[in-house]
């Protein structure tokens, strides 16, 4: 922060105490308690923080805290940061490659310290650092939808919350394939990342996961890093006997009406495995409703049900937000379903991704050439301009160029916008089931 503001910023990795290796060090513990305050969570117990420290190390997370050295006498824990921020890196399936993405999470600013430029300072300095480190894009999931557009982030994937009427069991119109088995939870923690890797490699929009996902799938962690004894799971095997999907779930209390099975995590390498896991769920006795909070937009399940009215969409929410840092690298990494050429200009409020590029796509791969402001576009090549946030939304193909143009995020002639749409349209909406 600025000199004289009374605020200072520290960036560090979570660590255990050198005095008591079974506990987190004080700086780490204070940071966790500040995050809990910001997200209205219960205060962490020491044992919970220490359990998460190891996982954060495996995730490669960096933590940032902004500290107020002029806290008044009765302020809560003056050693705790008044703002928090964290980052890590995983791969994003762009439809053409697995692109390393700079992920942002755990963003909080205490209400007593708002309107002092703290968030802007944290995010702009971090994005500049990420660009200097060679990241092509950044991503986050947003608790509030009004914050991040002004920093150049655009909604890139969405998800559905669904409920399926399972009374009388589910009847699918597709023939059975492979086999399913109730999972040995003691082994699922190691198996889950292998299955997710297959999902990641085959699913546009999929994003690599932090280690806590496998622990939750195996019932080792719940909302806190403690075992959840009511978690069950199943694994699906393809016809050759290779595991290609898993689902973890819990039965809600008997008082819940109708009797409900809650899907905690469902990961499948392909549509066949996804539907077979639903076939398994729909065959469980005493279940009248199955709920899933992170279903894909392009879900084959309602189309495979003999009675599609059993499938109800209860909510539709944005999931992954993407922000360009190096548009040319992003375009080269993307897979395209159509060929074509255009000049794309991007305007960026933070001036991290501004520029003009000639994009020529052949056989699904892009050749990208930087153009100066003085360079004239090749004759007959359409020219379009996009805000950084609109480009983030367009990138994975979750929304059409025409819709973004109607909303003001893309500008150009109707023919140029149509050309952009043809180039970026995808056969299937991207799907990201990773929350962070």
pLDDT tens for 248-285 read 999 999 999 999 999 999 999 999 999 999 999 999 99
Q: Which fold has domain 7-135?
A: Aminopeptidase (3.40.630)
Q: Is 435 exposed, middle or buried (0-12, 13-18, 19+ CB in 10 A)?
A: middle
CA atoms within a 13 Å half-sphere pointing along the CA-CB vector of 21: 0
Distance between start and end Cα atoms, the chain = 26
Look at residue 400 in the predicted model and tell me its pLDDT.
97
Q: Which residue has the tokens 């500049």?
A: 128
SS3 string of 213-254?
A: HHHHHCCCCCCCCCCCCCEEEEEEECCCCCEEEEEEEEECCC
Q: Is 186 helix (H, G, I), strand (E, B) or coil?
A: helix
What separation in angstroms does the CA of 298 have from each of 86, 128, 267, 294? 31, 35, 15, 12
Please report the sign of the dihedral spanned by the C-alpha atoms of residue 398, residue 402, residue 408, residue 412. Answer: positive
**DSSP letter for each residue of 97-148:** -EEEEEEEEEEEE-GGGTTSSHHHHHHHHHHHHHHHTT-SEEEE--SSTTSS
Look at residue 72 in the predicted model and tell me its pLDDT.
92
Map out the domains of the chain as residue ranges.
7-135, 159-317, 326-424
Between CA 261 and CA 163 the distance in angstroms is 10
CATH number of 159-317: 3.40.630.30
Look at residue 3 in the predicted model and tell me its pLDDT.
44
Q: Superfamily for 326-424? A: SCP2 sterol-binding domain (3.30.1050.10)
Length of the chain as a residue count = 436
Q: What is the mean pLDDT of the chain?
A: 96
Tell me if domain 7-135 and domain 159-317 are identical in fold. yes
Can you say whether residue 85 is alpha, beta or left, with left for phi > 0 and alpha for psi between -120 and 50 degrees? beta
* Residues involved in catalysis: 148, 436
CA nearest neighbour of 281 among 180, 187, 199, 186: 180
Helix 388-395 to helix 414-424 angle (10° resolution) is: 40
Q: pTM here?
A: 0.95
User: Sheet harboring 321-324: ordered strands across?
Assistant: 7-12, 62-68, 83-93, 98-109, 137-140, 321-324, 154-155
- Partner residues linked to 356 by β-bridges: 345, 371
pLDDT tens digits for 302-330?
A: 999 999 999 999 999 999 999 999 999 99
CB 195 within 8 A of CB 245: yes
Q: Is 356 helix (H, G, I), strand (E, B) or coil?
A: strand
pLDDT tens digits for 211-222?
A: 999 999 999 999
pLDDT tens digits for 75-109?
A: 999 999 999 999 999 999 999 999 999 999 999 99
Point out the annotated binding site for acetyl-CoA: 107-109, 115-120, 143-144
Point out the annotated binding site: 107-109, 115-120, 143-144
Look at residue 1 in the predicted model and tell me its pLDDT.
56
CB 36 within 8 A of CB 49: no
pLDDT tens digits for 339-371?
A: 999 999 999 999 999 999 999 999 999 999 999
Quick one: DSSP state of residue 399? S
């Amino acid at each position: 922060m600025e000199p004289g503001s009374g605020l200072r910023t520290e960036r560090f990795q979570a660590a255990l105490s050198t005095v008591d290796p079974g506990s987190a060090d004080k700086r780490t513990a204070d940071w966790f308690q500040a995050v809990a305050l910001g997200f209205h969570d219960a205060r962490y117990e020491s044992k919970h923080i220490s359990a998460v420290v190891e996982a954060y190390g495996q995730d490669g997370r960096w933590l940032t805290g902004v500290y107020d050295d002029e806290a008044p006498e009765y302020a809560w824990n003056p050693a705790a940061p008044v703002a928090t921020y964290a980052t890590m890196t995983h791969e994003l399936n762009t439809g053409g490659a697995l692109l390393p993405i700079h992920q942002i999470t755990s963003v909080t600013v205490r209400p007593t310290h708002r309107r002092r430029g703290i968030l802007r300072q944290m995010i702009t300095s971090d994005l500049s650092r990420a660009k200097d480190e060679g990241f092509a894009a950044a991503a986050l999931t947003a608790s509030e939808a009004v914050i991040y557009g002004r920093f150049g982030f655009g909604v890139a994937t969405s998800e559905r919350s669904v409920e399926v009427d399972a009374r009388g069991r589910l009847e699918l119109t597709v023939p059975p394939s492979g086999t399913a088995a109730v999972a040995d939870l003691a082994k699922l923690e190691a198996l889950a990342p292998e299955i997710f890797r297959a999902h990641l490699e085959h699913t546009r929009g999929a994003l690599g996961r932090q280690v806590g996902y496998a622990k939750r799938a195996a019932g080792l962690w719940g909302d806190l890093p403690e075992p959840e004894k009511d978690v069950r799971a199943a694994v699906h095997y393809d016809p050759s006997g290779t595991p290609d999907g898993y689902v973890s779930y819990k039965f809600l209390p008997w008082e819940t009406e109708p009797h409900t099975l809650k899907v905690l995590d469902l990961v499948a390498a392909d549509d066949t495995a996804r539907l077979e896991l639903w076939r398994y769920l729909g065959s469980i006795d005493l279940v009248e409703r199955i709920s899933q909070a992170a279903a894909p937009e392009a879900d084959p399940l309602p189309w495979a049900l003999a009675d599609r009215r059993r499938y109800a969409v209860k909510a539709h929410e944005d999931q992954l937000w993407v922000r360009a840092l190096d548009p040319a690298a992003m375009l080269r990494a993307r897979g395209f379903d159509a060929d074509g050429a255009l000049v794309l200009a991007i305007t960026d409020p933070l001036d991290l991704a501004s520029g003009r590029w000639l994009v020529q796509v052949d056989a699904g791969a892009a050749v990208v050439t930087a153009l100066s402001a003085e360079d004239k576009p090749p004759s007959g090549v359409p020219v379009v301009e996009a805000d950084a946030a609109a480009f983030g939304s367009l990138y994975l193909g979750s929304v059409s160029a025409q819709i973004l143009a109607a909303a003001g995020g893309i500008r150009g002639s109707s023919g140029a916008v149509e050309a952009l749409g043809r180039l970026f349209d995808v056969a299937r909406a991207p799907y990201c089931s990773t929350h962070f």
